[in-house]
Amino acid sequence: MQSELNGRVVVVIGGTSGLGLSAVRACVLAGAGVVAVGRDAAKAEAVQAEFGDRVVVHVGDATESGTAEGAIALGQARWGRFDGLYHVAGGSGRRRGDGPLHLLTEEGWDYTMDLNLRSVFLSNRAAVRNFLKNGTSGSILNCGSVLGMSPSPRFFATQAYAASKAAIVGLTRSSAAQYAAHGIRFNVVAPALVATPMSQRAQSDEQILEFIRTKQPLDGGRIGKPDDLDGAVVWLLSDASRFVTGQVVVIDGGWMVSEGGSLKVEDSSLK
The Cα–Cα gap between 81 and 127 comes to: 12
Q: What is the mean pLDDT of the chain?
A: 94
- Asked whether the predicted pLDDT for residue 249 surpasses 70, the reply is yes
Yes or no: is domain 9-257 CATH 3.40.50.720? yes
The yes-or-no answer on residue 161 being catalytic is: yes
Q: pLDDT band at residue 3, thresholds of 50, 70 and 90? A: low
Average pLDDT score over residue span 258-264: 69
Percent of residues, the chain, with pLDDT higher than 90: 90
Instruction: Using CA atoms of 28, 25, 117, 249 in order, give the dihedral in degrees to the nearest 10.
Output: 90
The active-site residue out of 86, 111, 161, 179 is: 161
Helix (H) or strand (E) holding 265: none
Contacts of 112 (CB under 8 A, 6+ apart): 92, 93, 96, 98, 158, 160, 161, 164
Judged against a pLDDT cut of 50, whether residue 268 lies above it is answered with: no
Query: How many angstroms separate the CA atoms of 77 and 137, rounded?
Result: 18
Tens of pLDDT, residue by residue over 44-84, are 999 999 999 999 999 999 999 999 999 999 999 999 999 99
186-199 pLDDT, tens digit per residue, is: 999 999 999 887 77
Spatial separation of the C-alpha atoms in residues 162 and 208, rounded to whole Å: 18
**Strand ordering across the sheet containing 9-13:** 55-59, 33-38, 9-13, 84-87, 138-143, 184-191, 248-251
| Contacts of 109 by beta carbon, 8 Å cutoff, 6+ apart | 93, 97, 98, 160
What are the pLDDT digits (tens) for 152-161?
999 999 999 9
Question: From CA 48, how far away is CA 255, in angstroms rounded?
Answer: 35
- Domain edges within the chain: 9-257
C-alpha to C-alpha distances, 91 to 30, 112, 113, 222, 245, nearest whole angstrom? 27, 8, 10, 21, 25
